[in-house]
A = this chain, B = another copy of it.
Amino acid sequence: MTDYRRLRVALLGAGAVGSQVAALLRKHGDELADRAGAALDLVGIAVRNPDAPRDVDLPRELFTTDAEELIVGADIVIELMGGIEPAREQILLALGSGADVVTANKALLATHGPEIFDAADQVGASVYYEAAAAGAIPIIRPLRDSLAGDRVQRIMGIVNGTTNYILDRMDREGSDFGDVLADAQALGYAEADPTADIEGYDAAQKAAILASLAFHTAVPLEAVHREGITQVDKQMMDAARHAGFVIKLLAVCERLTGQPLENGAESPTGEAISVRVYPALIPREHPLASVHGANNAVFVQAEAAGNLMFYGAGAGGVQTASAVLGDVVSAARRHIAGGVGVGESTRANLPVLPIGRVTTRYQITLEVSDEPGVLATVAGTLSDGRVSIATVEQTVITEGNGEPGVARIVIGTHRALEQDLSETVDRLAASGVVGRVVSVLRVEGD
C-alpha cells in the first residue's frame, strides 16, 4: 500500500448510521485511502455509553465518553449524534481547532446553519452534509456545485421516507392512516413517537437546507410553511385516485418573480422564494408519482438544465453511511490539496414569502345540501374571492326523503393566491349551503 499521509478521523455518535460509518471506514480503509490520497485513521468514537449494544461489532477501545479530547487534534470530525446540543457546540469546537466537519444533522443545519458556516469560514474549514437531506441520494453537491451556474426555479421533493411509505400503502391498499401508521411502527419504518415525520418537521428541515442551496439564501426553518399528513384519510386518497392524482407529502421550494412584497420590503432583483411542506395532489404520470415505499426523490426544475430528478433511498443506516463516507473522502482530499474551504453561497439573500402569497392550483371538496341554487352560490363565492374554477364535478351522496339530500362538489381551481383561497374557503364554510368542507388540497407538478 502506498505510504499516504495519515488523517485523524473522530466520530461522534454510534447509532444506526454512526456504527455503519465506523464499520465501513475500517473494512474499506485501504480502498478509501487510495481514493482520498490519505489514510483515514478512525481514532475514536465518542458516545454516552461505551458499553451499549451496537448494530455492528467495533473494538471496545475505540469508544470514549470524552468527546472534547477526541475532537481536539482530529483532522476530520464526523458528527452523527443528531439533535441541537451538544452537537452544535462540539461542531464549533471541531471547526475552531482546525478540523473539517462532516454531519448528517438536518435539525442543526436548519436551525443553526449560518452560525456553523460562519465559524467554518473564519478558519477556512469546510462543512460537508450530503447525508442531511434525502439520505443516500446525492443532492447536496448537484445543487451546490453542478447547478451553481444555473437558476433553479422549483424543487419538489419527497424527502421523508416514513410519510411516503404510509401514503403509498394508503394509496395502493386503500388502507386507513392509523392502521398503516401502526404497521409502519411495527416494521420499523416509523418511530414510536412519529411526530417529526408525520407532522412534516423532518421534511421542513430538509426543505430549508435544499432551498438555502438552490436559491443561495440562508432560509431559516421558521420561514418554512409546514403541514403534516395526519388529515389525509382514505376518502381523500380515493378521491385523488378517481381524479388521476396521488397524494404525496412534498417539500416545495419555489422562486417567485414579479410579486410585490408585504410591509414595503422588496428584494433587489424583484424576486422572492417560497418554501413549504404539505400533502399535495400530483398527477399520476408525474415522475414523483412512481416513487414508492420509503424511497425519496427530488425533482428539480432549472432555467437552463430543464427537469432533473434524483432518486434513491432516503434513510437507513448503511445507505446514509454511504453519503457520510463520500463527504469524509471529500474532506480528506481537500486536506491534502490545501487551500481554504469554500463557504456557503448565500449572497442572493432572497426574501421568503409567507404561504398566503403563494399561488397554486387547488382541489376543494365540499358536502352541500342537494337543492336548487347551491352550485350557483358556491360558484359565486369563489368568483367573489378571485378564485377561478377550472373543473367541477357534483355527485349526489344521500337522496333526500322529501327534504334536500346531500351532494358532494369537487372543484378544481385555476392558479389562485393562497390567501384568497383560504378566505374564500372560510366564507364557503360559513355559508348556509355548505355542510362540510371535506378537504382542500394543493395541486403540484401539473
CB distance from A314 to the nearest CB of B (A): 10
Q: A323 near B28 (CB under 8 angstroms)? A: no
What number of copies of this chain does the assembly contain?
2
Is A37 in contact with chain B by the CB < 8 A criterion? Answer: yes
- For chain A, residues 318 to 365, give those with C-beta under 8 angstroms from any C-beta of chain B: 318-319, 321-330, 333-334, 336-343, 345, 347-348
Q: B311 near A345 (CB under 8 angstroms)? A: no
Is A31 in contact with chain B by the CB < 8 A criterion? Answer: yes
CA distance A348 to B30 in the complex (A): 10
CA distance A429 to B20 in the complex (A): 52
CB distance from A22 to the nearest CB of B (A): 12
Q: A148 near B326 (CB under 8 angstroms)? A: yes
CA distance A327 to B217 in the complex (A): 20
Q: B136 near A308 (CB under 8 angstroms)? A: yes
Is A396 in contact with chain B by the CB < 8 A criterion? Answer: no
Contact A319:B304 (CB < 8 A) given known A32-B149, A310-B310, A339-B338: yes
Q: B342 near A339 (CB under 8 angstroms)? A: no
Q: Which residue from chain B places its CB closest to the CB of A131 in the assembled complex?
A: B146
Q: B145 near A142 (CB under 8 angstroms)? A: no
CB distance from A299 to the nearest CB of B (A): 9
Is A141 in contact with chain B by the CB < 8 A criterion? Answer: yes
CA distance A305 to B315 in the complex (A): 9
A–B Cβ pairs within 8 angstroms, 23 of them: A2-B347, A32-B149, A35-B148, A35-B149, A37-B342, A138-B147, A145-B330, A148-B329, A149-B321, A149-B322, A150-B325, A287-B290, A290-B290, A302-B322, A305-B313, A305-B323, A306-B312, A310-B310, A311-B311, A333-B342, A334-B339, A339-B339, A339-B340
Chain A residues engaging chain B, CB cutoff 8 angstroms: 2, 20, 24, 28, 31-32, 34-37, 130, 136-138, 140-142, 145-151, 216, 287, 290, 302-313, 316, 318-319, 321-330, 333-334, 336-343, 345, 347-348
Task: Give 10 A-B pairs besides A149-B324, A337-B341 with Cβ atoms closer than 8 angstroms.
Answer: A35-B149, A35-B216, A138-B142, A138-B147, A141-B141, A150-B326, A304-B325, A306-B316, A309-B310, A337-B342
